Structure 1
Amino acid sequence: MELPERVAGLMGQARSDLAELVSIPSVADPRQYPPEECARAAQWVLDAFAAVGFTDAHLAETADGSQAVVGSRPCGDPEAVTVLLYAHYDVQPPLDETAWRTPPFELTEVDGRWYGRGAADCKGNIVMHLTALRALGDDVPVNLKLVVEGSEEQGTGGLEDFVPKHADLLRADAVLVCDTGNAAVGRPAATVSLRGMVNVVVTVEALASEIHSGMFGGAAPDALAALVAMLAGLRDAEGNTTVSGLDNSQEWSGATYPEAQFRSDAGVVDGASLLGDGSVSDMLWARPSMTILGIDCPPVVGSAAAIVPRARARLNLRIPPGTDPAVAEKALTDHLVAAAPWGVHVAVETEATGSPFSAQTDGPAYRAIASAMEEAFGSPMVSLGQGGSIPLCNVFAETYPGAELILMGVEEPLALIHAPNESVHPREIEDMALAEALFLQRLTR
């Protein structure tokens, strides 16, 4: 039986695997879900990979308390290429469960897609790995290593701390970072660029306490109004992010993201304009982007006729490759302080920073995955950026400077990762598993 037929014949097991994994609410936040659920998911992953040849698979404790599944599968030739397979078993919380069309932790098929939290991000990629390895059987001419972490979504850095301290354990010539995806269903892609990020909380204080808006309004400074003015100044009239000191003119050179497709993928309401004076690809992958994540201020229901004495906002600044996060952090802090009106007091607290990432695309592993994807999908692989951040990629690149990092996976825009109604198209699992199998079968020095 040819490899495509073997992969196709395994899709029933792939669905069963994914259903079992999705049923485990492995949210790595003990304030929301018991840690036993992550432990259960870790054990499931360990058992599954032990069954496909990772006989030394074990759980490794990381600095943030999460457990990573680590293992190896030698091919018998120490001179053969070594490939590290990566994924994560933890998932985002379901958010508003009433917004789901299906139960979030029950894999459910609707209109040909499989719905459930983690179905794409990233349990679908775990199933992709397993399907590829089952299809290959013993025909794997490379040495394999494995790491499946349990705290990627929380961003607490367990594996980022673990990798450099255990460098030889995971050392490889190529790393398949399977936590991204394709341009669309059936359109294969490798992600070659990731934005970094700076998360801050800005606090504005104008008064000692609330005071009556009738007696004092008009002369007393208003902390909420000051904050609103500061936040409004982070974008210009066209929607470009305008943090002083950051370059807002770069252009994306890879595959384009058609505007009509983006509008559909993002659910942009009729009549609303897209932001910025660049292309969609420029705005997503080549330029800085500011998002207001939340604001602390009185809610409408229950608010009083009083001037707000203090207010704060949580901000997320995404930065493209070529921008130092320390430079961006200072630029954002300085911008906010300078923009504050009326002499109000401003404090900016940095929550987290992450470096952008740019992959090398001129090596043999990259050429091999491009060939494998084109054969599996019947169309050429394209290069995409991703607006999100994966700090682990920088850790891999620094720890293994000679390794090729390939970012790929079963996620695509309709998967709605991190949102209600996350789903995966089973064809993506099948085709990506075939591409991975072809890659592992053919990669040589």
Structure 2
Amino acid sequence: MEGRDVATRVRDLMPELRRDLEALVRIPSVSVPGQIDQPLLDAFELTSRLFADAGVAVDRLDLPDTAPVVTGEIPAPPGAPTVLLYSHYDVVPAGDLSQWSSPPFEPTERDGALVGRGVADTKSNVIAHVGALRAWGGRPPVGIKLCIEGYEEIGSGALGTYPPTDPGRFQADALIIGDMGSIRPGQPTLTTALRGMANVTVETRTLASGKHSGLYGGAAPDALLALLKALASLHDDAGDVAVAGLRRNEWAGPAQPEADFRELGTILDGMPLIGTGGLGSRVWSGPAITVTGIDVPSVDGAVNAVSPYARALLNVRVHPEQDAVEAQTAVIEHLRAQRPYGIELDVRPGATGNGFAAKTDGPAYTAAREAWSEAWGRDAILAGSGGSIPIVSALAQALPQAEALLVGTTDGFANIHGPDERLLLDEFERATIAEADFLGRYAAAFTGDGSAR
């Protein structure tokens, strides 16, 4: 089937694909640590049924501390490669319902977009996988493997380390990681790098209890002042990370326009960005350290007292190719060496997750550049992402020779994890066309004996 025929077939399928997407979005499949509730199981069942109807011999993988994983396969035709399709059916909570203009789990069309929790992150990517298989009548020219999980939003549980222990279940020549999308509407994008992540907790206790600031302030060791001084040492005067051993390099490809970054980040007018160098290196190929939580006395109800205790949680974003534990250790050692005002800090490691850097010179990337460029009618670009997808590094470890394509249906303005999350329907259609077209182009890149041309 030619690319034009695939595109026509996908367009014909869009009404039923949209119905399936809306049915999946109506299931409030919010993942919560330690819980596998009925909505998660309902989403698993619907996802399994949709892939079975699209020609996949579906299976179920149960692992500790995670929702059931949809696995399965379509055997490859002789000499053809195999492609693993990944996505997830869980979502984050809706949050403050008063911030939504329509009920979050009732998908609503508005101005060419579908609004609802999970429409962009990432149930539309689940349905794009289904649509690509339906476009080939359930008999694609490549083999198919599945990995559709239900705990991605809270770290993937045991699945996050499982693939290297069972590589045969995931064995493929290329991966389509359906959890990304266009850097902006209308710009086809292949994401080639994800930063890693590490958490660090730092705390100090200096007094048995708070003491009157008039009687003791100026000599009694103030835990909050000590913590703030230590935290300030993590960045230099320009806002660049000042921890030795954290890797950074300039981003070589196109970067997100600053105007888009400011709009998406809701940065107030006149407020400067922090750090130096290209925006790509600051948010894609360099480190970042964010104070994501801090335990200190509240201003409301505060009393004039020296603080006896203070604690902060740090989130460290790590260069795509640096080991996350190595980066975490560098931050811990930096903080332990500070001793503000002679006070020793208690610094402890938290969760980590490695980043990912794709190999972009193989037949899958050649086929993907062609397919995504054709679907949008303009050249696809390579971009990075500051976020993390926990399973990607595990799949890369299990399948070191496979090419990984991080693509999808969403765009930079989709407001994922926020109120009025939205999916542009034309981006959804183009992403599905591109994926279906890719399967044909990728198959054509191989000879009858299974080797790349």
Q: CA deviation at 1:82?
A: 0.8
How many residue pairs match? The answer is 441
Comparing 166-175 with 235-244, greater Cα deviation is found at 235-244
Match of 1:39 in 2: 41
Which consecutive unaligned segments of at least 5 residues does structure 2 have? 447-453
Q: CA deviation at 1:280?
A: 1.2
Match of 1:79 in 2: 79
Map 1:296-311; keep pairs closer than 5 Å. Answer: 296-311=295-310
Judge conservation of contact 1:63–1:161 (CA < 8 Å) in 2.
no
Q: Distance in 1 between matches of 2:345 and 2:397?
A: 36
Judge conservation of contact 2:284–2:386 (CA < 8 Å) in 1.
yes
Q: TM-score, normalised by structure 2?
A: 0.93
Match of 2:163 in 1: 163
Amino acid at match of 2:428: I
CA displacement 1:16-37 (0-9 Å, x = unmatched) = 2222111212122157x76111
Match of 1:292 in 2: 291
Secondary structure at 1:95 match in 2: coil
Amino acid at match of 1:40: D
Secondary structure at 1:201 match in 2: strand
Match of 1:235 in 2: 235
Which consecutive unaligned segments of at least 5 residues does structure 1 have? none
CA displacement 1:95-130 (0-9 Å, x = unmatched) = 333322332222122332212111111111001111
Match of 1:4 in 2: 7
Q: Distance in 2 between matches of 1:410 and 1:303?
A: 48
Secondary structure at 1:191 match in 2: strand
Judge conservation of contact 2:162–2:394 (CA < 8 Å) in 1.
no
Match of 2:450 in 1: none
Q: Distance in 2 between matches of 1:421 and 1:314?
A: 29
Judge conservation of contact 1:127–1:429 (CA < 8 Å) in 2.
no
Q: CA deviation at 1:58?
A: 2.3
Match of 1:274 in 2: 273
CA displacement 1:391-414 (0-9 Å, x = unmatched) = 322222221122111111112210
Judge conservation of contact 2:66–2:157 (CA < 8 Å) in 1.
no
Q: CA deviation at 1:247?
A: 4.0
Match of 1:184 in 2: 184
CA displacement 1:259-290 (0-9 Å, x = unmatched) = 11211222211001111111211111121111
Query: Is the alpha carbon distance of 1:303 and 1:427 closer, same or farther for their aligned partners in structure 2, counting shifts above 3 Å?
Result: same
Q: CA deviation at 1:337?
A: 2.0
Match of 1:441 in 2: 440
CA displacement 1:39-77 (0-9 Å, x = unmatched) = 1110110011111111x31221023232100111125x2
Q: CA deviation at 1:138?
A: 4.5
Map 1:425-440; keep pairs closer than 5 Å. Answer: 425-440=424-439
Judge conservation of contact 1:139–1:441 (CA < 8 Å) in 2.
no
Match of 1:107 in 2: 107
Q: CA deviation at 1:197?
A: 1.4
Match of 1:25 in 2: 28
Q: Distance in 2 between matches of 1:401 and 1:364?
A: 15
Secondary structure at 2:187 match in 1: coil
Judge conservation of contact 1:29–1:154 (CA < 8 Å) in 2.
yes
Map 1:230-269; keep pairs closer than 5 Å. Answer: 230-248=230-248, 250-269=249-268
Judge conservation of contact 1:324–1:355 (CA < 8 Å) in 2.
yes
Match of 2:119 in 1: 119
Q: TM-score, normalised by structure 1?
A: 0.94
Q: What's the C-alpha RMSD, in Å, of the aligned pairs?
A: 1.8
Q: Distance in 1 between matches of 2:441 and 2:321?
A: 34
Match of 2:61 in 1: 60
Query: Is the alpha carbon distance of 1:30 and 1:361 closer, same or farther for their aligned partners in structure 2, counting shifts above 3 Å?
Result: closer
Amino acid at match of 1:329: Q
Query: Is the alpha carbon distance of 1:322 and 1:173 closer, same or farther for their aligned partners in structure 2, counting shifts above 3 Å?
Result: closer
Q: CA deviation at 1:329?
A: 1.4
Judge conservation of contact 2:150–2:156 (CA < 8 Å) in 1.
no
Match of 2:420 in 1: 421
Map 1:131-150; keep pairs closer than 5 Å. Answer: 131-138=131-138, 140-150=140-150
Match of 1:51 in 2: 53
Q: Distance in 2 between matches of 1:374 and 1:177?
A: 18
Judge conservation of contact 1:205–1:345 (CA < 8 Å) in 2.
no
Secondary structure at 2:50 match in 1: helix
Judge conservation of contact 1:227–1:340 (CA < 8 Å) in 2.
no
Q: Distance in 2 between matches of 1:60 and 1:153?
A: 18
